[in-house]
Amino acid sequence: MATPVIADCDLDNYLRFPDETLRPRLREVRQRLGETVLILGHHYQRNEVIEFADFRGDSFKLSQQSAQHPAAQYIIFCGVHFMAESADILCAPHQQVVLPDLNAGCSMADMAQNWQVQQAWQELRDAGLADEFLPLTYMNSTAAIKAFCGQNGGLVCTSSNAPAAFRWAFERKPKIFFLPDQHLGRNTGSRLGIALDEMRVWDPRRELGGLTPDQVRTARVLLWKGHCSVHQRFQPEHVERCRAERPGVKVLVHPECNWEVVQKADLVGSTEFIIRQVCTAPAGTEWAIGTELHLVHRLAQEHPEQKIAPLDNNMCPVCTTMFRISPQHLLWVLENLERGTVVNRVRVAEDVKHWARVALDRMLAVPA
């Protein structure tokens, strides 16, 4: 099939063409731009985009790549908005971060807006309780929330180092205010021996999070009422049905799943943990994986010696916001760069960047 001719760099012109017709043009412009461009692809990204990524990984691992490749003037982040923000926080001053579609957000990150968190913190102050809490935020949060944690003595964590972050926090304050994923927070706390009734959910739409002053005082962890729209869809009955239909299957899930699912799984861990388990397992191992569908399908393609399937075949757990990044958007960004135009740059304000970097640096200093 012939490479389509695109007359100008207006995005609408690119969106008219099917994915497969753009491959030759993508390869050509990528080669011409050379080391001035670094393309980062998140594990949940569709295959038609991730095939052009120089590196693929989870959000923080990819964000670090920008600092490790100073020759790259432009960082093209094929992920979602908070990931591009993290890359901008960590990259060098001469580097510019681009998100191919600015509509690629994260529903979890959007559930904790800065004004809501500031209001919640003020309510804790008014109740005379803020000094007892240390704020921690999951990597899947906006730069402003990371900065809030940095300013108030807290840090950022990933799904891998959340237990270490919790231990670090409890060495400094008796209580944790965890943002924005209640499930990761609950699963981490439970793993460390904190009772479920010592972890309370803070609903930002209600006064004092919908809690009584006594409930806040007796809580060891306040969990922001947020979640991942993909991982929360997995339910305990999916695990039970899977085990009944596939005797001997190993159930492997992400800690963004709810507590009941995690309790029924064989293994629980981050995206990188999930990949590592599959890559090192003996041939013939049968897996039911509770995470984003593009990653599960990619693992099945790359490891035909194993039997890999989604935890539930009757639903489609796709990160729809990640799916907004398309080959058309990627080509549009790259050809604009070639013409000297930077589109969809993501830039974090300097004051926010400073305090977010403080929170990230504290995370990196925490012993594993």
What is the model's pLDDT at position 4?
56
- Residue 275 is inside which H or E element, if any? helix 271-280
- The phi, psi pair for 219, rounded to 5°, reads -75, 140
SS3 152: coil
Task: State the Cα–Cα distance between residues 226 and 35, nearest whole angstrom.
Answer: 39
Residue 168: which residues within 8 A CB-CB, separation 6 or more? 155, 366
Q: Cα–Cα distances in Å, from 158 out to 58, 163, 167, 254, 323?
A: 10, 9, 14, 12, 22
Give pLDDT tens digits for 140-150.
Answer: 999 999 999 99
- The phi, psi pair for 154, rounded to 5°, reads -95, -165
Please state which CATH class domain 11-104+321-348 belongs to: alpha beta
- For 231-310, CATH number? 3.40.50.10800
Q: Are 303 and 279 in contact (CB under 8 A)?
A: yes
Give pLDDT tens digits for 321-351.
Answer: 888 999 999 999 999 999 999 999 999 999 9
Supply the Cα-derived Rg of the chain in whole angstroms: 21
Q: Domain 109-229 classified CATH 3.30.590.10?
A: no
Q: What is the dihedral of CA 102, 107, 108, 110, to 10 degrees?
A: 60
Give pLDDT tens digits for 185-199.
Answer: 999 999 999 999 999
The stretches of the chain forming alpha helices (DSSP H) are 11-15, 23-33, 47-50, 59-68, 81-90, 107-110, 114-126, 143-151, 162-170, 182-191, 213-218, 236-245, 259-264, 271-280, 293-302, 327-338, 350-365
Give pLDDT tens digits for 203-252.
Answer: 999 999 999 999 999 999 999 999 999 999 999 999 999 999 999 999 99
- Residue 310 is inside which H or E element, if any? strand 307-310
Judge whether 109-229 and 231-310 match in fold: yes
What is the model's pLDDT at position 61?
84
Mean pLDDT of 285-299: 94
Tell me the pLDDT band of 108, cut-offs 50, 70 and 90: very high
Residue ranges per domain, the chain? Answer: 11-104+321-348, 109-229, 231-310
Select from 85, 166, 180, 100 the least CA-distant residue to 133. 166
Q: How does DSSP classify residue 5?
A: P
Strand spans (E) along 43-151? 55-57, 74-78, 96-98, 133-138
- Work out the percent of the chain whose per-residue pLDDT is above 90: 84
Give pLDDT tens digits for 33-78.
Answer: 999 999 999 988 989 999 999 999 887 888 888 888 999 999 999 9
What is the model's pLDDT at position 251?
98
* Cβ atoms < 10 Å from Cβ of 253: 26
Select from 267, 177, 247 the least CA-distant residue to 216. 177
Pairing of strands 55-57, 96-98: unpaired
